A and B are shown apart, each in its own frame.
With several copies, the nearest count.
Chain A
Amino acid sequence: MIFEIEIDGTVRSVSVQPIGDAGAAGGLFQIRIVGPGVGSEGARDPFLVDARPTELGLSLAYPDTGRSVDVAITPRPAGEQLLQLPHVDVRAVLDGRRLRRDGADGGAGTGEQRVAAPMPGRILRVMVERGQEVIARQPLLVMEAMKMENEIRALRAGRVKDISVAAGHSVESGRLLLIIE
């Protein structure tokens, strides 16, 4: 099987081929990555991984290098995967579905950012105006939720195309707040 996987704006194509009796309980897989080279094993093409399901996600061991890593996996809507490695969280999008998605944070790649409320709350301040250019991580608005003031920030640079809330509005989780193009 071949998957298109986007991490941090870079899309790679990853092919997975079971070896021997690999199946429901995991086993040995041959991996081929097409796209920008990455990682200790990435230099080999193809390379092997021994992958086993665990209570958290998958245990990976690479026979060629000996590397062992324990990855927790959470699928989220629209093909997004939250991968929690021992030291760092990585977000990946499976099969490019993020580009078609219209909820939540708008993604870190390219295209329109549709900024949605991450939780129910009240809009305290809107800090940008329609048509304004914003840079990555610029605060867009402030929401009060969970007894705290929370800044909602831009994920990427862009221009504010539309704002659909104003200070004082109460919003549900997932409610579209503004669009950056």
Chain B
Amino acid sequence: MPASRSAVKVLIANRGEIALRVIRACRELSFGTVAVYSDCDRSALHVRAADEAYHLGPSPAVDSYLRIDKLIEIAIRSGATLVHPGYGFLAENDTFAAACVEAGLTFVGPDPHVIALMGGKTSAREVAVAADVPIVPGTREPFDAGTPLAEIAAAAAVVGYPLLVKAVAGGGGKGMRAVARAEDLADAVTTARSEAGAAFGDSAIYLERRLIEPRHIEIQLLADRHGTVLPFVERECSIQRRHQKVVEESPSPVLAPETREAMAAAAARVAAQVGYTGAGTIEFLLDDSGAFYFLEMNTRLQVEHAVTEMVTGIDLVQWQLRIALGERLTVAPGQALTPRGHAIECRIYAEDPDRGFLPSPGLVRALSVPGGPGVRDDRGVAACFDIPTFYDSLISKLIVWGETREDAISRLRRVLDEYRVVGVSTTLPFFRWLVDQPAFAVGRFSTTYLDDILATRSEPFVLPTNDDTLDALVATAVAGWLRAHRALSAGGSVGRAWRDTGRRESLR
């Protein structure tokens, strides 16, 4: 451990659970922590947990978490020397990384030019090809906003249908459209361009062959500034809704050991090719023949990094920080590649799964978090916090560990029932349904599994039993009686309404 550690101070340019995750890693390394917040996040958990906290601006992200100038100013003012971008917001913005470097700060991530190179979907594909890693067939050059449709259509015919229209600057499913037939191409191009333009300020797109029922499998890696690249056991992220990961696990329930080795080696080649440093992830698609294709690289920490931590015991965020400080990776390659047991993560959002996963932000009146063996709760929300409407509505990443995948699923079933987020609809009922699906139990699913089900499904994910209905009737009636007798009118979950009303009103 370098002697300088206690003098290190880290600005976390993010919010919510990931800001808290970074703060925790800093504390364990004895680093100081600086949080930032927008108007609506003043009493968010990450602000409360940090040593210092500074106001960034109004709630919309463009006025706060995306304000490079303010972030740099706060870093300098607070005496922070490292800047950790988390994921999302500016995490893959090379301008931000460059601004940090220019201001004399250490950006916790790869060099700005590497972010730019791997962030461009087409340039990243070129890197993969150069590193001798197979890519999904598609167009090499991006089509900018002015490219006529006819040119795109001609290229589409070469790539072949079904295909995907993808934004060069895209991510998380935004600016991506599937096209089954040539006649649907024009619409998809228009929508993808407009989404990408609105979300990323860049409406350039490209085309890619759509594989049939592929699995999304990705390789986490760490690379230090001394040439060591360390690939990890894979994560399986095929359970997706509209290209957004919903459940992630490690290891994959299907990957053959030799495929794991080949994939890890391919990921390491891509990272070495560009002189990558820090934590990053290479995403692959695996087809039913066992062949895999480079999809893209995420030049940052992933939401789902915790499943890798659970099966390897390696703290990825601590290593991000240590690598940024110039330390050498000392992890044995075998430890990173050999999973111990099985970990599964569920992303619990404030969304109502029975209304098409409609966001349901609002006040979390109380929280009951699962405990006991084999459970990790990375939440960004505390009781009495009003989940803002300005950002994604992630409440918690719930991660379970079991000796086997079957054990992990049994445990997941248990902890999903223990978890209670009072006052808002969450995706918990959806996960309670998912863990009982035979396809999930045996691990037989592809990236289209969930969307296929959701397209035809109309009943609620979990139906109340007769006993549930009775309990609901009894609880409603007794609560009504107690309220009439003032018992619940100040405290517990029932009585906070008037205070919350007052609170919201005064925030307007």
Residues of A in contact with B (beta carbons under 8 Å apart): 1, 3, 5, 7-8, 12, 14-16, 18, 21, 23-26, 29, 31, 33, 38-42, 49-61, 63, 65-75, 81-90, 92, 94, 105, 118-120, 136-137, 139, 145-148, 150-153, 173
Contacts and interface: CB of A to CB of B under 8 A. Distances in A.
B462 interface: yes
A2 to B, nearest CB: 9
A89 B506 contact: no
Contact of A88 (B34, B423, B462): B462
Given A25-B506, A145-B389, A150-B358, A88 B468 contact: yes
A83 B425 CA distance: 10
B474 A51 contact: yes
A90 B469 contact: yes
A92 B472 contact: yes
**Chain B binding site: helix, strand, loop or mixed by DSSP?**
mixed
Interface string B77-103: 110000000000000000000000000
Contact of B470 (A42, A75, A148): A42
20 contacts: A14-B473, A14-B477, A23-B485, A25-B503, A31-B478, A53-B482, A53-B503, A56-B420, A57-B479, A59-B42, A60-B474, A61-B42, A69-B471, A70-B49, A70-B420, A82-B423, A85-B471, A120-B389, A136-B458, A146-B390
Given A54-B43, A54-B382, A75 B494 contact: yes
A87 B478 contact: no
A137 B474 contact: no
B458 A137 contact: yes
Contacts of B422: 56-57, 72, 74, 84
B389 A39 contact: no
B486 interface: yes
A26 B485 CA distance: 10
Contacts of A70: 48-49, 420
Contact of A31 (B49, B357, B477, B507): B477
Band of interface residues on B: 35 or more
Given A86-B417, A94-B476, A75 B469 contact: no
B47 A139 contact: no
B488 interface: yes
A85 B464 contact: yes
A66 B53 contact: yes
Interface in B25-61: 34-35, 42-43, 47-55
B476 A3 contact: yes
Q: Is the interface of A mostly helix, strand, loop or mixed?
A: strand
A26 B487 contact: yes
Contacts of A73: 475-476, 479, 493-494
Interface of B: 34-35, 42-43, 47-55, 77-78, 174, 199, 355-361, 365-366, 368, 382-385, 389-393, 417-418, 420-423, 425, 429, 432, 458, 462-488, 491-494, 497, 499, 502-503, 506-507
Contact of A87 (B361, B417, B423): B417
Nearest to B416: A87
Contacts of A63: 55
Nearest to A121: B389
Contacts of A53: 43, 384, 482, 487-488, 491-492, 494, 503
A7 B472 contact: yes
A69 B502 CA distance: 24
Contacts of A72: 365-366, 368, 420, 422, 493
A85 B464 CA distance: 9
Contact of A118 (B53, B359, B382, B385): B359
B485 A5 contact: no
A146 B420 contact: no
Contact of B502 (A24, A74, A81, A86): A24
A66 B34 contact: yes
Contact of A148 (B34, B47, B359, B503): B359
Nearest to B463: A88
B482 to A, nearest CB: 7
A7 B469 contact: yes
A20 B425 CA distance: 35
Contacts of A41: 470
A173 B359 CA distance: 12
A87 B359 contact: no
B438 to A, nearest CB: 19
B505 to A, nearest CB: 8
Contacts of A57: 422, 475, 479, 492-494
A145 B359 contact: yes
Contact of A39 (B382, B385, B469, B480): B469
Given A24-B482, A29-B481, A90-B469, A152 B52 contact: no
B492 A56 contact: yes
Given A24-B506, A68-B48, A68-B50, A88 B383 contact: no
A40 B52 CA distance: 13
